[in-house]
């Protein structure tokens, strides 16, 4: 397993992403862009990249915090507010990060997925709304709201979002607005609700935050990962 940190520029700042690829495998294969939770490219994010690489994909975790830093929860609020107010910024970071992924010699540039967690899920949805040429987009406990819902018509790939049914940060009204957006944009989309799960269900470190809206939920983590793999197989074929 080859892993490395890759520095690049996007949205006027230095970014440090994380690449994982099994170079013992022959041939080009699908690439997966990973967008992290608001805290940054943590060890949990790196392990997700390694896991996808072990399954035969090339995985690159982008950095929207900047400089490879990790932030405490209180520090993330201003950053996320700025990205939400100006989605072209997170879209620009996504595009630059896709360029890094596509440049890897093992990647089949015609087979690219973008997946994200928490605000990272919002980020990859915004990348899709920007018209990025990706085969599928997957969000785990991702925020669904956008200031530019009409841009859904630009989404080229299939969309899967996995949401905890008890998530207080993504209320039913936001899910309904997302459904309307996807229908209006004529997107090939699916939204899976998982009972008993709140926000952060796919992050084993979620409980460390000691926040009532956040909790790891192993059954939902495993079920949503299988749903993602099913979409990958449907979109790209086996690897």
Provide DSSP, the chain.
-EEEEEEEEETTEEEEEEEEE-TTS-S-EEEEEEE--TT-S-HHHHHHHHHHHHTT-EEEE--SSSTT----HHHHHHHHHHHHH-HHHHHHHHHHHHHHHHTSTTEEEEEEEEEEETHHHHHHHHHHHTT---SEEEEES-----S-GGGGGG--SEEEEEEETT-TTS-HHHHHHHHHHHHHTT--EEEEEETT--BTTT-TTGGGG--TTB---HHHHHHHHHHHHHHHHHHH---
pTM, to two decimals: 0.97
Mean pLDDT, consecutive 10-residue stretches, the chain (239 aa), reads 97 97 95 96 98 98 96 86 95 98 97 98 98 98 96 98 97 97 98 98 93 96 98 95
Closest CA to 72 of 187, 191, 205: 205
Is 153 in contact with 185 (CB distance < 8 Å)?
yes
At 75 the pLDDT is 82
CATH of domain 2-236: 3.40.50.1820
At 55 the pLDDT is 97
Q: How many residues does the chain have?
A: 239
Which sequence spans correspond to the domains of the chain?
2-236
At 114 the pLDDT is 98
Q: Which residues of 183-192 are buried (b: 16+ CB within 10 A; e: fewer)?
A: eebebebeee
Sign of the Cα torsion 171, 177, 179, 182 reads negative
Query: 148 φ, ψ to 5°?
Result: -130, 65
Query: 154 φ, ψ to 5°?
Result: -85, -10
At 73 the pLDDT is 77
Sign of the Cα torsion 106, 111, 117, 122 reads positive
């Amino acid at each position: 397993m080859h892993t490395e940190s890759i520095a690049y520029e996007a949205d006027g700042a230095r970014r440090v992403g994380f690449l994982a690829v099994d170079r013992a495998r022959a041939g080009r294969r699908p690439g997966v862009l990973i967008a992290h939770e608001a805290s940054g490219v943590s060890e949990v994010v790196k392990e997700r990249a390694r896991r996808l690489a072990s399954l035969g994909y090339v995985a690159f975790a982008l950095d929207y915090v900047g400089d490879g830093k990790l932030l405490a929860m209180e520090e993330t609020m201003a950053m996320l507010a700025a990205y939400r107010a100006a989605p072209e910024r997170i879209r620009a970071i996504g595009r630059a990060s896709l360029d890094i992924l596509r440049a890897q010699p093992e990647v089949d540039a015609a087979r690219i997925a973008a997946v994200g967690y928490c605000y990272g899920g919002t980020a990859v949805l915004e990348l899709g709304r920007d018209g990025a040429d990706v085969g599928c987009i997957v969000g785990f406990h991702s925020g669904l709201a956008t200031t530019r819902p009409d841009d859904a018509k630009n989404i080229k790939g299939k969309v899967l979002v996995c949401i905890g049914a008890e998530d207080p940060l993504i209320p039913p009204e936001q899910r309904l607005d997302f459904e309307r957006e996807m229908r209006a944009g004529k997107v090939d989309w699916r939204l899976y609700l998982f009972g008993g799960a709140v926000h952060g269900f796919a992050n084993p470190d979620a409980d460390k935050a000691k926040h009532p809206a956040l909790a790891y939920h192993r059954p939902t983590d495993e079920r949503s990962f299988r749903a993602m793999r099913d979409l990958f197989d449907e979109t790209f074929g086996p690897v």
